[in-house]
Amino acid sequence: MAAELAAGNLDEPVIKEESAEDGAAEDDGVADERPEQLDSVSHLCEVIAVGGADAITGGRIAWLGHATVLIELDGVRVLTDPVLRRRLAHLERAEAVADDALPPLDLVLVSHVHYDHLDRPSLRRLGRRAALVAVPAGAARLVRGTGVGEVVELAEGAQLEVGAVRVRATHAEHAATRRMLARDVPSLGFVVEGSRRVYFAGDTDLFDGMTGLADGLDVALLPVAGWGPTLPPGHLDPAGAAEAVRRLRPRVAIPIHWGTLKPLYRRTPYSDDAPEQFAARVREVAPGVEVRVLRVGESTTI
């Protein structure tokens, strides 16, 4: 029996059994609803077969929906917060993730323990394709037993190296609990750096240390919305995400965490216009930053 989550907020689940996550409902047909082309932003992306034979030498980013992003940098493949199944409790994924979009991964980064970011069935689907999984300190027990490779815990400020890429765990202003753990587990963002420097915010609100978090950022991957009609504290809306861009000063900003998960009672996700609002606000507060909007399954070189 699937875990029962409170209908209003995946951040605060009411769960009968942790193991119930493994009993997710089978995929069912959902209309393929996609947002219209956003004419007011830079949309320089193409649909690609993500799971090619070899990782590219330079840099490429593919958005697989919600906070799941494939970062290919200097021959290393990094996947963030994998949520891959079509049903997640009372939510449906607007886009399916095909197996051929899941190549062998050198590293999986999990930003925090909420169910729409740390999804055990999705990790089980990856299995040994995920060679190394990095989670916040205190969260390893949730990942072990999913069949992935090595699991490591990171505290804020910790670093690890995978091939030619270095990853640094950063602060995230986002309270995260999971009932099985019965205590808060710190949330993280990550800076992934090699020949390019990419910041993945996870879920976060604005925080003082965001200014100067990483010098010379090429890309900032920033949440701009949620799956419901409102955002609880600890999240960024389009205006907040634009302020984050002003503080971070990346070369390119890519909005994520929008237009993917929807409640069962809706035909389309909430906030499909969030990227357009974000881009408009960025033009006001950080006009030198390029905004690139990816739809689910699309990629861009960096």
**pLDDT for position 11:** 54
Residue 208 burial by CB count (10 A; 0-12/13-18/19+): exposed, middle or buried?
Answer: exposed
- The token duo for 288 is 């030198």
What is the predicted pLDDT for the residue at 255?
Answer: 98
Please report the pLDDT score of residue 57 as a whole number: 58
Contacts of 227 (CB under 8 A, 6+ apart): 10, 66, 91, 116, 260, 261, 262, 263, 269, 270
Three-state secondary-structure class, residue 279: helix
> Which whole-number Å values give the CA distances from 293 to 25, 210, 257, in the listed order?
31, 22, 12
User: Residue 42: how many CB atoms within 10 A of its CB?
Assistant: 13
- Backbone Cα Rg of the chain: 17
> Distance between CA atoms of 234 and 149, rounded to whole angstroms?
31
Across the 302 residues of the chain, what is the mean pLDDT of every consecutive 10-residue run?
35 36 31 29 34 58 96 97 93 83 94 95 96 96 95 97 98 86 84 98 97 96 94 95 98 97 90 94 98 95 94
Residue 58's pLDDT is what? Answer: 73
Nearest to 199 by CA among 209, 186, 189: 189
* pLDDT value at residue 96: 76
Q: Are 187 and 176 in contact (CB under 8 A)?
A: yes
Residue 247, number of CB atoms within 10 A of its CB = 17
- Whether residue 169 contacts residue 190, with contact meaning beta carbons closer than 8 Å, is answered with yes
Query: What's the confidence (pLDDT) of residue 50?
Result: 39
CA 32 vs CA 28, 99, 263, 267, 296: distances in Å: 12, 18, 15, 10, 11
Tokens representing 224 are 């701009």
pLDDT of residue 66: 96
Output the 3-class SS for 261-278: EEECCCCCCCCCCHHHHH
- Closest by CA to 278, choosing from 261, 300, 257, 255, is 255
In this structure, are residues 192 and 165 in contact, taking their beta carbons and an 8 Å threshold? yes
